[in-house]
Chains A and B, each alone.
Chain A
Amino acid sequence: MNRRDFCKFGLGGTGLVMGTGLNSGVKQPPSNRIGRISRHPWWVKNIDEPKLPIDDKVYSRFNSSRSVFGSFDKYYGMENLRELRQRSQEKTRQYYKEDRPGYRLEDRALADAAWVISRQGGLNRGTRSWTRQFVTTPERRGVEKYNRNPMEASQLIKSAARYFGAATAGIAILDRRHIHSYERGKPIVFEAVDEPYENEKKLVIPDKCKYAIGLSVQMSLDNLQCSPTAISSAGSSMGYSRCEFLVAGLAEFIRGLGYMAIPSVNDLGSSVAIAVDAGLGELGRTNRLITPEFGPAVRLCKVLTDLPLALDKPIDFGLLEFCKICKRCADACPSQCLSFDDEPSFQVKGEWNNSGHKAWFEDAPKCFAYWQESTSGCSICIPVCPWSKKDKTMIHEMVKAASAKIPALDRFFFAMDEAFGYGKQKSAQKWWFLDLPEYGIDTTQGKG
């Protein structure tokens, strides 16, 4: 081949590749994402329906008392639970005696202290109140309520969400099936009322509440990589506390525009299902959300509102195909509660799972039991995931893009990830000497 031929071939090839890319861009459903806020990387595709289907005949609202937190004693057995708690206490004392890094007094104090803001809220309580706290409403200001078009409103909401600490934000039509049927023993019902309220008998969401804002908050990977220790628990609890601030601030902001808002973290409904609908990520092997930017190292929360908003679409970045071959989370899980199945299925593992949607269902009581066993919770499945990466080197972005576009390379990338030693546990002792950024997170990550 001479130089002229090479140039022809090269330019032709480049043109072909670019043409294909542009063409495929046209074929994709148009993204409703506005400006730079919450826009995913170029290799993330918008799709019309989430990749893992819902069986409309089966999928229904979940009674939160069936969750592993609500019925652990029933699933695990009272006698077993007593023994487990005793073992946990003995281990805690033993770890203190051994002065084991990650389980020392200072580590546990940090994990507890990081909960402090999260503990200010609960379903319709404190920071998660369903009604106005102190923001001045347009009515009191003597002006009309906010009434620009939904696109502008979405931009506003996403900017405010980012300002209050969201890593990503997306908007979906509220699928009522994602809302729990019962919370704290009371039914959650939808009624034609103007404001949400609660009485002795029920929790009431207004019919006009049609939009769900899915929000993610980054967790510190430096903390999570010390899992399972109290340092990694501090990463989770800090995530929850930041969720609390985020939903409280965003709900008040919406009320300040003249609309109703219901802030929620893990209560009220499935944040994961809403986040999938709102295009924040895909459901992974852990049966939790995995985002293209931060992997599973995020906490989720949501705000429900009647403010008309432009909608986002679910996304596809090749995660389903990757999870099928990877299985590292299932391998690393000390309680062996995650599925090793090649394919996701509709078959649930127990009452704690909400049936009617395809997923890799987890054996939640095993997971929760290990939290007690380890004495400080566990989040090993998060840092070991090959999608959990800091973005200090462009190789990660390149691999993620290639994995999204060419699933045939997934096996190679997985092998390389292992060879390069990613996902190994880090020292909890050294964590105290890291020069960490604010909240332990890099707020520039995923912003291009």
Chain B
Amino acid sequence: MIDQKAFIELKIRKRPWFIWILRAVWLIWVLFWLEATVGSWKEMETRAFVISLIIFLVSLIAGILLWLWGYLRFKKANT
């Protein structure tokens, strides 16, 4: 008869497989708007520059916050 208490239960929490795809999509999105921002500046299109810059910054900050939130949640769950 096996003593149940002799075993330790390990729960392995893996990141979902699609997280890398989401990260790649986010990176491409952010780089796209960065390029649009720089390009609009070169083209001297003020309004296009401001809109592109806002989209770029919001996407960048939102992405970083989301990543941080996910990271903290993941860390908490593993401790």
Closest beta carbon of chain A to B55's beta carbon, Å: 11
Taking the complex as formed, is A22 at the interface, i.e. its CB lies under 8 A from any CB of chain B? no
Residue A24 lies at the interface, judged by CB distance under 8 Å to chain B? no
Q: Does the CB pair A392–B43 fall under 8 Å?
A: yes
From A222, A392, A394, A434, name the one whose CB has the most chain B CB atoms within 10 angstroms. Answer: A392
A393's contact among B18, B39, B46, by CB below 8 Å, is which? B39
B54 to chain A, nearest CB (A): 12
A3 interface contact, C-beta 8 A: yes
**B17 at the A interface (CB under 8 A):** yes
In the complex, which of the residues A390, A394, A420, A426 contacts B51, with contact meaning CB atoms closer than 8 Å? A420
Q: Residue B13 at the A interface, CB < 8 A?
A: no
In the complex the two chains form, is A3's CB within 8 Å of B17's CB? yes
Residue A143 lies at the interface, judged by CB distance under 8 Å to chain B: no
Question: Given A3-B17, A6-B18, are A424 and B47 also a contact pair (CB < 8 Å)?
Answer: yes
- Interchain CB contact under 8 A, B47 and A421: yes
Report Cα–Cα, A2/B16, bound state, in Å. Answer: 10
The 8 Å CB contact of B39, one of A222, A394, A424, is A394
B48 in complex: contacting residue of A3, A6, A422, A426, CB < 8 Å: A422
A447 to nearest B CB, angstroms? 16
A194 to B17, CA, bound (A): 76
B40: A residues at CB distance < 8 A:
392-393
Q: Does B35 lie within 8 Å of A394, measured CB to CB?
A: yes
Q: Is A415 at the interface (CB under 8 A from chain B)?
A: no
Q: Are B47 and A392 in contact (CB under 8 A)?
A: no
CA distance A419 to B18 in the complex (A): 34
Q: Enumerate A367-421 residues with CB–CB distance to B below 8 Å.
A: 389-390, 392-395, 419-421
> With a CB–CB cut-off of 8 A, which chain A residues contact B47?
420-421, 424
In chain B between 16 and 66, which residues have their CB closer than 8 angstroms to a CB of chain A?
17-18, 32, 35-36, 38-40, 42-48, 51
Q: Which of A222, A394, A421 has the most CB of B within 10 A?
A: A421
Q: Which residues of A contact B51 (CB under 8 A)?
A: 419-421
CB distance from A355 to the nearest CB of B (A): 40
Give A389's nearest chain B residue, CB to CB: B43
The listed residue with most B CB atoms (<10 A of its CB), out of A6, A393, A395, is: A393
**Smallest CB gap from A434: residue in B:** B44
Among residues of A, the one whose C-beta sits closest to the C-beta of B39 is A393
Residues of B with C-beta under 8 A to A389: 43
CB distance B36 to A395 under 8 Å?
Answer: yes
User: Which A residues touch B17, using CB under 8 A?
Assistant: 2-3
In the complex, which residues of chain B have a beta carbon less than 8 angstroms from the beta carbon of A420?
Answer: 45, 47-48, 51
Residue of A nearest to B21 (CB): A6
Our pick among A2, A392, A419, A422 for the contact of B42 (Cβ within 8 Å) is A392
Query: When the two chains form their complex, are residues B35 and A393 in contact, meaning their CB atoms are under 8 A apart?
Result: yes
Contact of B38 among A393, A419, A421 (CB under 8 A): A393
Interfacial residues of chain A within 1-32, with CB under 8 A of chain B in the complex = 2-3, 6
Given A419-B51, A420-B51: A426 and B36 within 8 A (CB)?
no
Complex Cα–Cα for A389 and B43 (A): 9
Closest CB of chain A to B42's CB: distance in Å? Answer: 4
Cα(A138)–Cα(B10), bound, Å: 90
Please tell me if the beta carbons of A426 and B44 are within 8 angstroms of each other in the complex: yes
- Chain A 186-225, CB-CB to B under 8 Å as 1, else 0, gives 0000000000000000000000000000000000001000
- Which of A222, A393, A424 has a CB less than 8 Å from the CB of B36? A393
| Separation of A392 and B39 alpha carbons in the complex (Å) | 5
Complex interface: chain A residues within 8 A of B43 (CB) = 389-390, 392-393
Nearest chain B residue, comparing its CB with the CB of A10: B21
The distance from the CB of B60 to the nearest CB of chain A, in whole angstroms, is 17
Chain B residue with the shortest CB-CB distance to A225: B44
Distance A6 CA – B22 CA, assembled complex (angstroms): 13
CB of A422 within 8 A of CB of B39, answer: no
The interface residues of chain B lying within 8 Å CB-to-CB of A426 are 44
Contacting residues of chain A (309-332) with chain B, CB-CB under 8 angstroms: none
Known: A390-B43, A392-B43, A393-B39. 6 other contacts (CB 8 A): A6-B18, A393-B42, A395-B32, A395-B39, A419-B51, A420-B51
16 contacts between A and B (CB under 8 A): A3-B17, A389-B43, A390-B43, A392-B38, A392-B40, A392-B43, A393-B38, A393-B43, A394-B35, A394-B36, A420-B47, A420-B51, A421-B46, A422-B45, A422-B48, A426-B44
